[in-house]
Amino acid sequence: MTKVKFLSGETVPLEMHKVRMVQKVNLYPVEDRLAAMEEAGYNTFLLKNRDIYLDMLTDSGVNAMSDNQYAAMLQADDSYAGSETFYRLEATLKDMFANDYFLPAHQGRACENIISQVLVTPGSTVLMNYHFTTSRAHITLRDGLVEEIIIDEGLKINSDHPFKGNMDIAKLEEAIARLGRDNIAFVRVEAGTNLIGGQPISLQNMRDVSAVCRDHGITTVFDASLLADNLYFIKVREAACAEMSLRDITREMGALMDVIYFSGRKLGFARGGGILTSNADLFAKMRELIPLYEGFLTYGGMSVREMEAMSVGLQETLDFDVISQTPIFVAAFTEELIKKGVPVVTPPGGLGCHVDAAAFCEHLPQTEYPAGALAAALFIAGGVRAMERGTLSEERRPDGSEPLAEMELVRLAIPRRVFTLSQVKYAADRLAWLHQNRELIGGLTFEEEPSVLRFFFGRLKATSDWPQQLAQAFRRDFGDSL
């Protein structure tokens, strides 16, 4: 993707691909959207896709694949063991990260399970720039602890820092001194902090983290799931990397980190995942668990057709025109919302546009899940499915008390090569209308609350009849328009 200037002086994102296949979507009346939201227990994860107009829940497994990816799927080798498909994927990853060993797994959280089983012991601590929901869950299931040491700028809604996902090196040194090397399971670096705005980490910060950890003999683990967006930001925001090729950057990352894992549902634009390392001892320990949890060592629970598509998608990740689309669309979306007075996270990150639900719904206490309420309201107002990234995404403490999230965000993901600019502008318009009528948005409370990862399948209810009032206000202002 690139940007071009129009005769009017406006700078517009320009897609560097053409659309050759389409899929029908539905935009139903507001009354139908309200009924669907009620049926889903005010949890956007529980909505049926047929009821959704724009699915901005996630980019995971929903990026559009290229013609070359579909073509590659036809050469898949279905062999249970020793598949040529595996060796093609392995060769692609070794070329990309210059690591010696690759283990396949069916997706990113499967990799987290394997890594946590090998490295986490009861009472040990994992230091990280910021947690992801499943990464923390696998660590705590092993009775490990999580400590976040992101830079202070990372937790500011609005900032001009180009790499808000960076780890604070001084905090890292302090934590190592306080906890002791032997009590640290590993240091996890996430490229593109998913829960706090998709904010990137710089290559220099990765160098600094690696140097500290190697000085102390501590294992480093790199979550590369959102690497595509992060590579874009390194190229455009990190001056020292402007002349580096994307392959040079990924290979240096491979040299800096002891273990790399990824979700192919994000990185590679297909469905799968895997673990890379050049550490023979770690490889041997993790390899034993792959057949137990995933499948044989040359498919790891993945469809070989998806593996072929992922191999091509990984190669496309090293094409700047390919990886630039999501960040540029996110920036355009963010800028449109800023013009309309909607509070958002700045600077724009990767993955999607992030709305500051705490400011948007400042009349709601965090205990009534303002990010979840805003996500539900957006679906009622526009048929747009977004994801709550706030207190709903936390888990209760053992004593039953509820930790409040450091940020209350609603994420509107931009899957790669899926939406048009007019659809993005539609979502921005419906958010702007909601902001003008934000006093109508009320709170939510749990009806069914799972003990683990409750945001996935917990069911809630409105604290009043505010959803009905919101639907009536929409009909009043938009008439027969959908």
Residues in the chain: 482
Q: Helix or strand or coil: residue 116?
A: helix
| Contact call for residues 44 and 387 (beta carbons, < 8 A) | yes
Residue found by looking up tokens 């747009």 in the block:
384
Calpha distance 152→344 (Å, rounded): 18
Please classify residue 63 by burial: count the beta carbons closer than 10 Å to its beta carbon, then call 0-12 exposed, 13-18 middle and 19+ buried.
buried
Calpha distance 147→123 (Å, rounded): 12
Per-position DSSP letters for 41-79, written without gaps between them: TT-GGGS-GGG-SEE-S--TTTSPPPHHHHHHHTT----
Please classify residue 11 by burial: count the beta carbons closer than 10 Å to its beta carbon, then call 0-12 exposed, 13-18 middle and 19+ buried.
exposed
Catalytic residue IDs: 80, 132-133, 223, 266, 389, 455
Q: Helix or strand or coil: residue 403?
A: coil
The 8 Å CB, 24+ separation contacts for 282-290 are 282/118, 282/219, 282/258, 283/100, 283/101, 283/103, 285/118, 286/103, 286/114, 286/115, 286/118, 287/103, 289/114, 289/117, 289/118, 290/103, 290/104, 290/105, 290/114
| Inter-CA distances, 32 with 27, 51, 89, 284, 381, Å | 10, 8, 45, 54, 11
Calpha distance 327→236 (Å, rounded): 11
Residue found by looking up tokens 């290229």 in the block:
66
